[in-house]
Structure 1
Amino acid sequence: MKPVWIVDDDESIRWVLEKALARENIPLKSFSSADEVLEAMERETPQVLVSDIRMPGKSGLHLLEETKKRFPHLPIIIMTAYSDLDSAVSAFQGGAFEYLSKPFDLGRAVDLIKRAMKESEAKAVMEKSLDHVPEIIGQAPAMQEVFRAIGRLSHSNATVLVTGESGTGKELVARALHRHSPRASQPFIALNMAAIPKDLMESELFGHEKGAFTGAQVMRRGRFEQAEGGTLFLDEIGDMPLDMQTRLLRVLSDGHFYRVGGNQSVKANVRVIAATHQNLERLVKEGAFREDLFHRLNVIRLRLPSLRERAEDIPVLARHFLKQSAAQLGVEPKILSEEAAAFLSRCKLTGNVRQLENICYWFTVMVAGQVIDVKDMPAELLEENGQPERTVPVVMAADETSAVTVPYSDTMQVQTPSWEISLEKTVGALLEKGESDLMDKLGKQFEKILIRTALNRTKGRKNEAAILLGMGRNTIARKIQELGLENESANG
C-alpha cells in the first residue's frame, strides 16, 4: 500500500495526523511545503494527498492544480480554516476529493482519509482492468472502417470532427485518437458543451483571473490550459452558443486566447477533437452554427455507426459490459443465453452502446440467476421489441366454472411481493381517513426511499446511484435537493 502524504507548514497539525494514522497502521509521509511534495512526486506517488490551503510559497490550490495535471485520479483532501471556505469551493472546482475545515474532528479526518484510500484503490483496480480491455470493441465492417481511420491518424495532429448518434461512443474514439497520437503522454481533457450553463462556458474553456467576477477568489486555468500539449475533446459542439463559437474560432485560427478578466494573451498548443450528434451543415444553413468554425473543425470527419448498423457486435459488447459491471459490483459475471443474445441483437436500441451498457448493468443488479434468458429482459425492452406478453393461470375460487388468464409482466413475480400488499393496505387506510393528494405524497416518499437506498449502497456516490436507478446524473442531483436528502447526508 502506498503511503498517505500530509502537507502543512503547521508542525502541530502534521504531528496530530501522524499519530492518528499510525494508530490505524496507515503508512504516511509528512511535508512542510508544496515544493517538497512536487519534488517527491518526481520519484513516487501517494495513495492520498492531504494538503493545507495556506502555506509559505506555493499554496494548496496550486499544489492541487499541479498534482491533478500529473495524476488526475489521485484523491486530494484540502484542509482549510473557516475563513477559507471560498477557497474550498475553488478546491472542489479544481477536482478535490473533499475538504476538512479547521479545527477538525480527528475521527472524522481519519474516516475521510480511509474513504479516499478506498476510492484510490478502486480506481487503481479499474485502471488496471481497463489496461487489458480493448479500447473500442467491434468486429462489424462499419467499425473496422473506424479502426482503420484511427490508425491512419495515429501520426497526425489534425483537428477531427466525430459524428454519430448519441451513445455511439464518440468520447471513446476521441480518447483512442489521443492515445495513438504524438500527444499521448500529455493530458486528455473532455468537456461537454451541452452540460455547461452558458454564463460559465467562457470561464470553463479559457479560465479566469482573480476578481474577474463575483466569486472569482483565485485565478483559474481553463480547459485549454489544462490540455496544454495534449488534446481537448469538445463534446456536443453543436450546442455551443454563437458568441462562444467566435472565441473558439479565434483560438483555432491563431492559437491564442485571453482568460476572463485578463489582458495577457495565453498561447495554446492543443489538438481539438469535436463531436456532435447533430447535423452541423443544417445548423450552418439555419444560422445556428458559424460556417467558418464548421470548416475549421471539419478537417477530418469520422462518422461512428449506430448499433443497428453493427448488430453482430451486440453479443460481444454485452459480454464485455456484463464483465465490467460485475467487476464494479464485486460479483460473478452473468452469462447471456443464446436466445437472449439473439433477442438483444434484434432490439431497437436507440440509445446505442450506452443503452446496451445500462441494460447489462441492470442485468447484473436485477437478474437473480447466473444465466440471462429472454424472460429476464426489462419489461419495456420486451414491449418495445414486439415480444408477446405471456400469460399465467389465475387460481379461481371453488365455485368458478372456468379459469381465466391475465397478462404476465417479466418484472412481476407470480406471487404479489409483500411490499405491494403493504402499500395497498396503507393506501386503503389513508383513503379511509379522508386523505387526498396521495399520488404526490406517496410518490415523493417512494422516490425518497429509492434514492436513499441507492445512495447507501453506493456510499453516497451519486453517479453510481443514478445508474442503479436508471436515471440521469442531473435528475438524481435535482431529486436529492427537492426531497431534502442533501440535509440527511450532511447530518449523517
Structure 2
Amino acid sequence: MAQSHTILIVEDERNLRRVMAAWLEGEGFATQTAADAEAAREELRRAPADLVITDHRLGQGPSGLELMHEAKAERPDLPVIIVTAYGNVEHAVEAMKAGADHYLTKPVEEADLVALARNLLNRSGHALPTQQPDQDFGIIGDSPPIREVLHTVELVAPAPSTVQITGESGTGKELVARALHTASPRAEEPFLAVNCAALPGELIESELFGYEQGAFTGAQRARPGKFEEAGNGTLFLDEVGEMPFSMQVKLLRALQEREFTRLGSHRPIPLKARMVTATNRDLQADAEAGRFREDLYYRLNVIPLHLPPLRERAEDIPVLARHFLSRVARQLECHTPSLEPDAVAALQAYPWPGNIRELENVIERTVVMSRAQTIGAADLPPDLRQPPSQTGKGDFTTHHLPTIERQVVVDALDKTNWNQSRAAVLLGISRKQLRTKMKNLDLLGGEEG
C-alpha cells in the first residue's frame, strides 16, 4: 500500500475544516488542521506536511498568502492551494501571482479538492494512494499516465466545476471531455462541442450566445446559441486559446454571473451547462504575455487535466494499433490483419508528432495499401521504417529493427513466464508465427520445458 501523505488544512471555519479533512482522509491521505496562521506554523514545525490548503482570509491574524510566503521561504517546493470566496477572481489571480500552485473557490466541492490534491502531489513527485478506475470510457491504454487520466475523470466528473484539458494536438482531448460528461450526473443531457479555432471572430458570439430576430443583417429569425442548447448538459470549448480577445471578456462575464444574453436582447438567460475547455497551447504563458486574459485563464483552469503525448505512453501503442486495425477492417469489410513484432517495434520507436490521430491515419493507410493478412515493418510508411533520431547518435534505420523486435518478443515472453501461447496472444500473432520469430531471433534455447 502506498505511503500516506500529509495535508495541512488551514481554515478558520470549523465545520468546513472538519469536512475537508474527512474528504481527504477518505481518499487515503493523512491530515493536519489549523484554525489560523499561528497554529499552522506550529503544525508545520511539528510535522512537515506534503501539501498545504489554506483559506485566503484567516480572521484577524496573518492571511493565507502570508502563511504561504513563510512556508515556501522554508520549503520552496511545498505545494499550496489557496481557497477564496466564490466569484472573487481577483483573489485567485493575486494568489497565483504570489506563488500559489492552485486555488479553489467556496463552496468547496469534494471532487475538486481531492483532484487538485492528487494532481499537485503527483506533480511534486510524491507516490500517491491510487485506485484502479472502474471504467475506461472508450479511452484505450493501460499505461500509468492513462490510468491517472481515467482516475481523474472518475474523480472530477460528478462535480460541476470547470475542467481545462491540455495536451498536444491529436491526444484525444474531446474523447476525455465526453468521458467527463458520460461519467457525470449530466450524462442524459446534451453534450455540445464547439471548435473555437474554426469559427470566425464575428460569428463566435452568435454561435455561443444565440441571437434575436433583427439583431444583425441576415438575422431573419431568432436562434438559440450553444450555451442555451446545452441546457443542463456539458459545453465543450475546444481550442479555447484561439478565442478572440474581445470574446474572452464576454465569456468571462458569462461564467462569473452564470448567465448570458442573446445578441439583440437584454433578457438574461441562466447558464446551467458545465464548461469543459481544451487547448494545445500554454495558456498560462499566453496570459502572462498578454495574449490571453489572465482572469479568464484562472476561471477556466479550476480543474486542470493534462493528456500525455503518445511518445510518453509507448506501451499503449500495440493495443491502440490493433483497435484501429479492427475498426478499419470492419469499414473495409475485410479480415483484420495481425501485426508482426517488427511492425510493433517500429510503431513504438516512432515519436508520433501527430499523436493518436496520426497513428490512426497510419494504420488506415497501411491496411488500405497492403490488404495483407499480417503487417510487418516493411508494410509501414517510409517515415516509420526510418523515424528521425531522438538521441542525436545517428539515424534509426530498418537495420535496427531486429534488435528492437527481439526485445519486444523477449518482453512478451517474460511477461507470460515464457508461455508461448500467451505471449503470442499478447503480441497479436499466432503461436506458429511466434515460434518462427523465436527461431530467427535465436530465442528457442530460452523457452521453458
TM-score (norm 1): 0.51
1:221 CA displacement: 1.2
Distance 1:150 1:388 in 2: 39
Distance 2:199 2:263 in 1: 16
Residue type of the alignment partner of 1:174: A
- For 2:325, the equivalent position in structure 1 comes to 322
CA deviation map 1:423-457 (0-9, x unaligned): xxxxxxxxxxxxxxxxxxxxxxxxxxxxxxxxxxx
Residues 19-418 of structure 1 aligned to structure 2 (within 5 Å): 135-385=138-388, 386=395, 388=397
Residue type of the alignment partner of 2:259: H
Structure 1 residues 134 and 147, CA, compared in 2 at 3 Å: closer, same or farther? Answer: closer
Distance 2:340 2:136 in 1: 23
Matched position secondary structure for 2:207 = helix
CA deviation map 1:248-275 (0-9, x unaligned): 1011101111112222211110100011
Deviates most, 372-381 or 342-351: 372-381
- Tell me: higher relative CO, structure 1 or 2? Use CA pairs within 8 A at least 6 residues apart: 2
Distance 1:291 1:229 in 2: 27
1:214 CA displacement: 2.2
1:215 CA displacement: 2.1
Distance 2:136 2:188 in 1: 20
Task: Give yes or no for contact 2:164–2:301 (8 Å, CA) kept in 1.
Answer: yes
1:133 CA displacement: 8.7
Distance 1:244 1:357 in 2: 34
Task: Give yes or no for contact 2:213–2:222 (8 Å, CA) kept in 1.
Answer: yes
Matched position secondary structure for 2:223 = coil
What 5-or-longer segments of structure 2 have no aligned partner? 1-134, 389-394, 400-449
- For 1:473, the equivalent position in structure 2 comes to none
Residue type of the alignment partner of 1:194: A
Task: Give yes or no for contact 1:157–1:182 (8 Å, CA) kept in 2.
Answer: no
Task: Give yes or no for contact 1:325–1:361 (8 Å, CA) kept in 2.
Answer: yes
Distance 2:398 2:313 in 1: 28
Residue type of the alignment partner of 2:187: A
Distance 2:201 2:338 in 1: 45
Distance 1:215 1:163 in 2: 37
1:292 CA displacement: 0.9
1:325 CA displacement: 1.8
RMSD between aligned residues: 1.7
Distance 2:318 2:157 in 1: 29
- For 1:54, the equivalent position in structure 2 comes to none
Residue type of the alignment partner of 2:190: P
Matched position secondary structure for 2:237 = strand
Matched position secondary structure for 2:384 = helix
Distance 2:180 2:288 in 1: 30
Residue type of the alignment partner of 1:360: I
Matched position secondary structure for 2:214 = coil
Structure 1 residues 273 and 179, CA, compared in 2 at 3 Å: closer, same or farther? Answer: same
Structure 1 residues 318 and 134, CA, compared in 2 at 3 Å: closer, same or farther? Answer: farther
- For 1:442, the equivalent position in structure 2 comes to none
1:387 CA displacement: 5.3
Distance 1:157 1:367 in 2: 48
CA deviation map 1:215-262 (0-9, x unaligned): 222211111111110000001111111111111101110111111222
What 5-or-longer segments of structure 1 have no aligned partner? 1-131, 391-492
Distance 2:215 2:236 in 1: 26
Residue type of the alignment partner of 1:205: L
Residue type of the alignment partner of 1:236: E
Residue type of the alignment partner of 1:381: L
- For 1:477, the equivalent position in structure 2 comes to none
Matched position secondary structure for 1:171 = helix
Distance 2:371 2:330 in 1: 17
Residue type of the alignment partner of 2:191: F
Matched position secondary structure for 2:139 = coil
Task: Give yes or no for contact 2:197–2:242 (8 Å, CA) kept in 1.
Answer: yes
1:389 CA displacement: 7.4
TM-score (norm 2): 0.56
Distance 1:273 1:348 in 2: 29
- For 2:105, the equivalent position in structure 1 comes to none
Matched position secondary structure for 1:234 = strand
Distance 2:216 2:329 in 1: 46
Matched position secondary structure for 2:211 = coil
Task: Give yes or no for contact 1:209–1:259 (8 Å, CA) kept in 2.
Answer: yes
Matched position secondary structure for 1:384 = coil
Task: Give yes or no for contact 1:159–1:271 (8 Å, CA) kept in 2.
Answer: yes
- For 1:100, the equivalent position in structure 2 comes to none
